[in-house]
Amino acid sequence: MVAKPVIDIDLIVEDPTQEEKYVPALERLGYDLTVREPNFYQHRCLRLAKPRVNLHVFGLDCPEHIRHIWFRDWLREHPEDCERYIAAKNC
């Protein structure tokens, strides 16, 4: 599905607060840690410039990651909603 020029990826780790276990390897690949949201499921976001990627880091069984999967599956099964999503993201 092509919806916007940014790739969103969820990375699931055992404990997002243990940044030393995953951030250095991602920084070596060119990612920058840009967001820490301890009050939102310990969410972290790292960004890559080229290609433009938002790498969202969540813990195991995080409801937000599960919501992302449900949303992806919904768009795959409902082409009319998928078209609306694409139109909204390309504004």
The structural domains of the chain, with segments of one domain joined by +, span 7-90
Q: At what angle do helices 79-89 and 63-77 cross, to 10 degrees?
A: 110
pLDDT at 37: 98
pLDDT at 3: 61
CATH class (in words) of the domain with range 7-90 = alpha beta
The whole-model pTM stands at 0.86
Is residue 33 within 8 Å of 44, Cβ to Cβ? yes
What is the average pLDDT across 34-46? 98
Report whether pLDDT(2) > 70: no
pLDDT tens digits for 47-74?
999 999 999 999 998 999 999 999 999 9
Report whether pLDDT(1) > 80: no
